[in-house]
Amino acid sequence: MKIKRIIVAFAVLFFGFSISSQAQLRKIPSEVTDAFAKQFPKAAQVSWKDNLTNFQANFQNSDTVMQVKYNNKGQWLETISKMPYDQLNDAIKDGFDKSKFNDWEILLVQKITSLNNEVLYRIEVRKNAFRKTYLYFNAKGQLQKDAPAL
């Protein structure tokens, strides 16, 4: 009987946490939505997420799937754009081909533009079902870092 109560208690806690972790914690400030509307006037299928330290919009801009982050005052922090591998410049493709990950399967390619107009290209690769990694290249094709994909 005691074990059954413990299992039920854990199930209730897990279910409650999973619902609350997906809930919007705060209202999106008008400074953020105004900045977004000004920066991306043709955005469609917009959904917002509160990341506690920033607000994130996921949306479609023309034919591109994008994500943008703002602080609570509406200051732009970062834009991530999905792109096909074949649109990467030759230096990045060459950098990938020369990396130790060149035989890994490419899952996703994204262009990340952040403050100070720093641009990185993130390539998500997979070796097998249990090994995924993010590779970050600069425009010159130099691998800046690799990090396990969670």
More confident residue, 9 or 75: 75
Work out the average pLDDT over 45-67.
Answer: 96
pLDDT of 102: 96
Work out the average pLDDT over 121-150.
Answer: 95
* Residue 91 CB neighbours (<10 A): 14
CATH of domain 26-148: 3.10.450.360
Token readout for 15 is 């279910």
Work out the average pLDDT over 12-31.
Answer: 60
- Write out pLDDT tens, residues 69-118: 999 999 999 999 999 999 999 999 999 999 999 999 999 999 999 998 89
Mean pLDDT over each residue of the chain, to the nearest integer: 88
- φ, ψ for residue 142 (rounded to 5)? -90, 130
> Residue ranges of the domains in the chain?
26-148
Q: Are 109 and 86 in contact (CB under 8 A)?
A: no
> Is the model's pLDDT at 27 over the cut of 70?
yes
In this structure, of 10-14, 35-39, 132-136, 138-142, the range with the lowest mean pLDDT score is 10-14
